[in-house]
């Protein structure tokens, strides 16, 4: 069963109505890759004027978000926080490709289906779909073969958007990842800070952004936003000695 989020971040549309996404930079061949955390699992990547949107979500005001030359969708969740047709319609440049797992075909009929383990050049960029699934039974459960993570090669660098998954063998086998967007706290009872840290040690990215770590459902499990912040600090402290730089993006509005 899929993780259904009914009330997650409903306050975000109000408190972020006029916000401009904060940006970060990562050096690449031919210039810097600009990284803009948007919300939850949604991130904007820009390089030399080309824009990639990953899991765009219309729960936040998208007026300050750049139109996309390429859109990557990791899953077809019922809550819309990975596959949101409204956000895709608002941000997609005419003719821009949308890469999706097969379960999203009904929502994006002209989407390009990329199965786990497949590679394809899309919009002039190399995209590889990595399996995203749970190893531990229990709800919410993400079965093997339904969702993707993506390794995007841009400016000679490999950016990995992990999606929602445990640290499965397909992830542990990856090499030469420069920037990794990794889930934490979710799936519930699975990607705890120690589990996420173990995954980062296995992949050894240069930079890691924890994301997809705070939802309305998660707030029922964690007492306060301060406790959620503590989990981020715990993760950073665990992997810094291993040479992984943890960057904390502004994925959620301030409480």
Residue 93 Cα to chain centre, angstroms: 21
Q: How many CB atoms sit inside 10 A of residue 255's CB? A: 12
Q: Coil, helix or strand for 103? A: helix
Question: Are 160 and 151 in contact, with CB atoms under 8 Å apart?
Answer: yes
Question: Are 210 and 232 in contact, with CB atoms under 8 Å apart?
Answer: yes
pLDDT of the chain, 255 residues: tens digit per residue? 444 443 344 434 434 444 578 899 999 999 999 999 999 999 999 999 999 999 999 998 999 999 999 999 999 976 788 999 999 999 999 999 999 999 999 999 999 999 999 999 999 999 999 999 999 887 778 899 999 999 999 999 999 999 999 999 999 999 999 999 999 987 677 899 999 999 999 999 999 999 999 765 455 555 567 788 889 999 999 999 999 999 999 998 765
Question: For domain 20-245, is the CATH number 3.40.50.720?
Answer: no
Plot region of 233 (φ>0 → left; ψ -120 to 50 → alpha; else → beta) = alpha
**Helices 225-239 and 193-203, interaxial angle, to 10°?**
30
Question: Are 154 and 125 in contact, with CB atoms under 8 Å apart?
Answer: yes
Boundaries of every domain in the chain:
20-245
Q: What is the pLDDT of residue 48?
A: 96
Q: What is the pLDDT of residue 196?
A: 97
């Amino acid at each position: 069963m899929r993780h259904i989020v009914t009330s997650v971040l409903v306050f975000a549309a109000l408190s972020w109505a006029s916000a401009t996404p904060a940006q970060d930079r990562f050096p690449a061949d031919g210039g810097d890759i600009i990284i803009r955390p948007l919300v939850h699992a949604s991130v904007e990547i820009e390089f030399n004027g080309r824009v990639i949107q990953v899991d765009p979500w219309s729960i936040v005001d998208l007026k300050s978000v750049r139109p996309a030359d390429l859109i990557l969708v990791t899953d077809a969740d019922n809550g819309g926080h990975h596959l949101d047709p409204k956000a895709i319609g608002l941000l997609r440049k005419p003719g821009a490709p949308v890469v999706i797992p097969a379960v999203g075909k009904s929502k994006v009929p002209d989407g390009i289906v990329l199965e786990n383990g497949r590679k394809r050049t899309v919009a002039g960029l190399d995209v590889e779909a990595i399996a995203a699934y749970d190893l531990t039974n229990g709800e919410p459960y993400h079965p093997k073969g339904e969702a993707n993570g993506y390794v995007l090669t841009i400016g000679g660098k490999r950016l990995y958007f992990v999606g929602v998954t445990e640290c499965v063998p397909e992830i542990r086998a990856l090499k030469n990842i420069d920037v990794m967007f990794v889930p934490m706290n979710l799936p519930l009872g699975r990607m705890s800070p120690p589990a996420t840290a173990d995954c980062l040690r296995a992949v050894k990215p240069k930079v890691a952004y924890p994301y997809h770590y705070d939802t309305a459902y998660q707030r029922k499990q964690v007492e306060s936003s301060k406790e959620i912040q503590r989990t981020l600090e715990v993760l950073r402290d665990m992997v810094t000695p291993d040479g992984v730089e943890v960057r904390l993006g502004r994925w959620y509005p301030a409480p």
